[in-house]
Structure 1
């Protein structure tokens, strides 16, 4: 995945986590709010750490 796409996705995920945290705070939901504190950064971190799955013709399948 190109760097620009990864960066854009990271920014969108971080903004969604912040918006969710603020929204849950407005509703008074403390548990889900703290879950977002963990899941937001974890999602961004995993986007950069785990490699993208690439399929090639030599993945073990037989061509007809």
Structure 2
């Protein structure tokens, strides 16, 4: 996956995680808000660390 697509996904995941954090905080969900931020950070890390799944023969 090209880096500019990874960057766009990173920004989108970050925005959704932060907005969800504030919605959970407004609802009084103290544990869930931190889980949302942790999941967002995990998703961003996995986008950058792991290669895209695919068939190795497709590059021919």
Band of TM-score, shorter chain = 0.7 to 0.9
2:22 matched residue in structure 1: 22
Structure-2 separation of matches of 1:57 and 1:43 = 27
Q: Which protein is richer in helix relative to its size?
A: 2
Q: Displacement, 1:54?
A: 2.3
| Structure 1: unaligned runs, 5 residues or longer | 59-64
Name the larger-Rg structure. Answer: 1
Count of residues in Structure 1 that have an aligned counterpart in Structure 2: 58
Between 1:49-58 and 1:37-46, the stretch displaced more is 49-58
Q: CA RMSD in A?
A: 1.4
